[in-house]
Structure 1
Amino acid sequence: MNDQASSPGFLPVLRKRRESAWNRIDSERVLQVLVHNLEGMVFRCAIDEHWTMHFVSDGSRELTGYCPDELEYNKVVSYEAITHPEDRLPVRQRIVEAMNGVARYRVQYRIVHRDGSEKWVLERGAIVLDEEGRRVLEGFVEDITDQVLSQRQLSDAEQRYRSIFEDSVVGMFQTSIDGRYIAANRALAQLYGYAGAAELIAGLSDIAGDLYVESGRRDEFETLMREHGRVSDFESEVYRRDGSRIWISEHAHVVRSPGGEPLYYEGTVEDITAQYHYRQQLEYQATHDPLTGLPNRNLLQDRLQQVVRLASRRGTKGSLAFVDVDNFKLVNDSLGHGAGDKLLVEVARRLKSCLRDSDTVARYGGDEFVLILGDYDGLAETLHILHRIQDAIAEPITLDGQEVRVNCSIGVSIFPDDGVDLDVLLRHADAAMHHAKKLGKGQFQFYTETLNVEARERLALDSALRRAIEEEALSVVYQPKVNARGRACGFEALVRWESAEFGSVSPVRFIPLAEENGLIGQLTWFVLRQACHQAAAWRAAGHPDLRIAVNISPSLFREKDLAALVGAVLEEAGLPAANLELEITEGMLMGDVQRSLAVLGELKAMGVDIAVDDFGTGYSSLAYLKRFPIDILKVDRSFVLECDSGNGGLAITRAIVSLAHSLNLRVVAEGVEQQTQLAVLNALGCEEFQGYYFARPMPAGQVAAYLAGR
């Protein structure tokens, strides 16, 4: 083929073949069909004042609204007349340029359709000689209105986007996959302390190394992008140009090519420094004692877990000490609460001075402190620390001009020997501390089985509890919950045990025992069935909106079919899921997070409400809250009892209510006993209340009369 094409005889042969093919076709018919069926108008016109048309194709009807007979020779209207007035001169100038140049032209302009609408057209033509040798225009005009409008819309959209990008008060950016800024707006530049976007792009050439305070933070950002294609509320501490630090929240996504390849990251940045520090303040208030500044019981679980894990890795031991200030009540009563507070602050300072930075001193409540002493080398070093504490506490202190001396009683449990769980270690240390007080105060004692004065009683109590659960000899009472108007909106189901052998046994005593000996599951299902059947009876009696709340033990979260079991109880009782609230403890959320999320998700899908009970007494990180499908926070009674006393109880309660409302949770205050407490809680925005101020727990038979009285 190449040899033929380059040979001198090839072109004449090819031309002859084409002429032969054309001769076999009715060329006039083909041209007429093409001319009159094209979408657009084929024309020949004179180069005169009116662009007098000598010929137009049938496409003129669609394009202009005029048929060929009306346009040809200006019988009805001239083409000059339907050309938009603003475009006539530019069109003529373009054609004149063609006449003086290459003789071909291309011009875009507007025409006025017969119906009065405007159209954008593209005219392509050439200056040729007609049959009489005169110069005329021959060409083709097509409708490009849609393309022009689309281009304008795209241009407008791009302009709007650019305007939004540049003028937004929120920082906006585009970064390359390898961590360089491609684009940034003025707000982002100002946020990071740069004069403009160009300066920011030049100054932050390495985002990972120059921007983030925490090493590896950009790697976490990129990992989320690879796994999910986006990040939301990605909070980080970053450096500004002057070296100062701020906290930001990023929302970003991956922009991909049509083929799915990642091109760059695009997103927004907000300065959340104020919000971050406010959250830190709330968390600090909820996890630290406002009087002494020490960690409170909320942090103990977290601190103990850290120390226990460390001791396990190293094969060492640690100890938990329960410290009670002797004769504190005497100081408080004789010198006043102000002096008592000063004494507690000084005791806290002295306790801290006796320990290492890695140890923990927490105020457990009142005049009680808890020490977590990790990784000490044997009993001798622990004894040395305990003696040093006793000596430090025994030093005189001046309160309001009066010298005071106090001692402390200390009980100690050893982990892992005496347990690794906080509740177990606290219980053992508390038992040892009380034994120390019986020996004359100002002493310390270690926990041993011989010191557990309730050991034999507990064995008997265990057997009696097993029988009571098997024989369903326990009872369920119901404590009302009321709304802000004082109207009963639900009840909490509480278990009670009247034992023939032990008399009235407090739930504080037998529920922990049921947890320890594995009976808590049977106990919980007994209460749940009783409560659901009772709530169904209330519905039938004309109280369809009353909700029943039942406490769920943390150990039940290990059961595979918890949601199915709850559903079976509801079905058996004929109670809608919306009438049931399940109360869980904060510690439940701090264990197996994924398992807790799955179980709570199943319960929520059924329509059951989830409440966190005794909130503020055991949680180590408020950030976990938003991860769980929770509906209600119950403020622990220890804060409720102090909320009207003007001390830290009010601050913590206010912080908890504010936190709950920010997460769209309903707040229930439990343990309300005084009108003043109710007034404060009402003002803070609590939605529901529970406590002796309204009613004590009552048998099911008294509920009807209570409701009628309310």
Structure 2
Amino acid sequence: LLGVFTLYVDAGHQYRDEEAEALQDFAAAMATVIRTSRLQQDKALADIILENSSHGIIITDRENRIRWVNRAFEQVTGYSAGEVYGKTPRILASGRHGTDFYQSMWQKIRQTGYWQGEIQNRRKNGEIYPEFLNIVALKDENGQVQRYAGLFVDLTEIRRAEERIHRLAYFDTLTGLPNRVRFMDELGGLLKRARTAERVQRVIVLLIDLDHFNEINNALGREAGDALLRETARRLAKALDGCLLSRVERDQFLVAVAVPDDGTDIAAFSSGLVGRIRAALEPAFLLHGQELALQATIGLVAWDGDERDTEEELLSRANLALLDAKCCNRGGEAVFDEVLGREAEYDHHIVLNIRHVVERRELHLVYQPQVDSSGYLVGAEALLRWQSPDRGLIPPDRFIPHAEKRGVIGVIGHWVFEQALEQLTRWQGDGIFAPETFKLSVNLSPAQLIGQDVAESFARICEERGIAPSSLVIEITETAIMQASDVIRGKIEELSAAGFRIAIDDFGTGHSSLSRLHAFPIDTFKIDRGFISPIESGGKHLAIVKSMIAMAHELGQTVVAEGVENEHQFAILRNLGCEYYQGYWFAKPMAAHDLEHFHGSRKSPVSGIIVK
């Protein structure tokens, strides 16, 4: 219903046929006017919407000649409406799509009346840009195409944003090199291609660690450190053209390359790679006007085509080789081999089982005697052992670091203290050892020292068992003392205040200053075995030990010499005034009942030699 036409006439008037027909014609004419007005209004509204749409719009006739474009079209393409009127959309062609592309597009439009997809077009200034385009065929009531309408969105900014996100996700922002994620993806592809080659290729992975980078960064500042990394990346990229290169850590780079399958010797090829790396880093780096020499330690693994190996496993092996090189050949290189593989497997077993050793009762204590200058037993050090049912005896220096890293050192340390105290309680209760003449030493790791209220905990256990804390010596490494944090100092002071005696273990390995040591409540210094072994040669080795003993006495502390292995060493140390001794010359670590037998055996009051 468009409207109502109302006519007022005199009462009783009868319409003649010609009057009724005229009125009907007039009503039809008015309806046409109303319809036309509304269509014009709708068209004007549609024109406003289309003209101001953020999407580019193009209308062509059935011959594909442009008849209308909106403002967004002009903004995106750079062409005005007048410049494109009467032309075909080929004016926008980028040349990036072949004839097959356009034939497929128009075939789809003829079949379905519709096409959509991404296309590359060219602006008036020649710039090629991506757009997402929809094309619709507009047909009349008879199904004949009268117009084509195209609606498109410029994807340039979207693609730029995607590229920025991609670079952030897969590339190092400082050097522009691929990051670890990208490297691992590319390494996976390299391994796949190597496996499917006509002859399985070998792949070499190298992990490069810049020596002393942290010291350089701290001394010259982060800006200089960043400049050094950028220049290092530039040199490596130039020297290793054709290789996968990545920066994976602050000062570490990864390299991977397939070895040609033409009979190339892999050892010679690897050596050549290492040589190229060292040649690239050899020229001095210029930072803040200073010339700086830079060395690198390299871990290397060669993949031999084993289908079971993954890229993660290769990287792990390269890292193991790097750690081996840093330990034994700083500034050099190491190659992963079967020995390192067994070591890695050994450590993996430790990592998997370290959390369960207490509950599985796989730990036990042994005791190494400590004697005075007359050879009489004055104490013992409780030493932890792990008897694995699968791996046999695992030494503490292998599993303690893993226990610290995985946060179980507190549980293990508490077990050690309780077991040692239980044994000491039994010894004192049976009258085997008197608290005045026998001290039991227990080791305390830095992580355990920081991680719990050890003084209160240990004192409570002693009170429950009726043991005086003065019967126990808490051994703390010099490395922990060197940290000199308020927390460490406070913990040691609490232990001393609770009555425990404090010994510095491995003294001499940490190069502590006299003033720093004086600030701690230390009772005993234990000189590391590394200083004891060479004293028989005299010279500086003897002088160092002599000065250590003198310093300890100056501070009012007693001295225990660790690692005494023969009578000559014992005699020298005794002449230097060392009070106590520990080492294989007297006895190896032993079970509790063997220590009781050791105590009961006869000892010479002159030489210290145990008569058994």
Calculate the TM-score normalised by the size of structure 2: 0.47
Higher relative contact order (CA 8 A, sep 6+): 2
